[in-house]
Amino acid sequence: MNRHLPSSLIYDNWRGLLSIFGKIILGIVGVGLALLFGFWLLLASNMGPAYLPNILGGALDFWIRMMLLGLGLGIWLITALWIIWLVLRYGQHFIKSYFIKR
């Protein structure tokens, strides 16, 4: 015996809306985690004494710090471009769905 309600238009609309909100929230959480990791790399590039002072007379320390700095800034740049791309994509979808009549 089937005790489920028949599929209705209102249910399908809410399901689609919840799916879109879920994707948006997942994107925001992903952006937040990426920014947090990039910030941690930026901080790690400037903290503490020399990492490996006995190797190459401490010259390796410069490259380690610059690599961490570059990775942190690269993550921030890629994250900014990703969030701008998501906003433009959802904006285009919104304009096509609600303002352009087919």
pTM above 0.85, yes or no: no
- What is the rounded CA–CA span in Å between residue 33 and residue 88? 21
Summarised one tens digit per residue, pLDDT across range 31-68 is 899 999 999 999 988 887 777 777 777 777 888 889 99
Q: How confident is the model at residue 5 (pLDDT cuts 50, 70, 90)?
A: low
Residue 88: CB atoms within 10 A of its CB come to: 10
- Average pLDDT, rounded, for the chain: 83
In order, the DSSP letters of 20-37 are: HHHHHHHHHHHHHHHHHH
